[in-house]
Amino acid sequence: MMTRAHSEKCEAVFGNECATKKWAAMFRLGVVELRLSPDAFWRLSWREWLWLTAPPEQAVPLDKRGLTDLMTLFPDDEYEQ
């Protein structure tokens, strides 16, 4: 679950820094704080990133299209044996 500390760190990333520092800070937040693998970080869509880093009360809701997209990417039958 996203904590207030994560949200504050994410807000700190988007200060008046150059784009390279922003990416480095976002990568650090994703890999160190959120414990994503580097590969998982780079595969995130912008919407997924916003969802992961938003405070709980401002999280982007998952709509029907988003759910359908996830179900297409990760069908249940792959995991059933």
* Selection from 64, 21, 73, 65 nearest residue 44 by Cα: 73
Task: Give the pLDDT score at 72.
Answer: 92
Residue ranges with strand state E in the chain: none
Give the domain extent around 46.
Answer: 4-78
Residue pair 60/47 in contact (Cβ under 8 Å)? The answer is: yes
Q: What would the two tokens of residue 66 be? A: 């988003």
Pair of tokens at residue 60: 């982007």
Number of domains within the chain: 1
Per-residue pLDDT tens digits for 14-66: 554 455 677 788 888 899 989 999 999 989 888 888 888 877 776 667 889 98
Q: Are 61 and 34 in contact (CB under 8 A)?
A: no
Closest among 50, 49, 53, 40 to 5, alpha carbons compared: 53
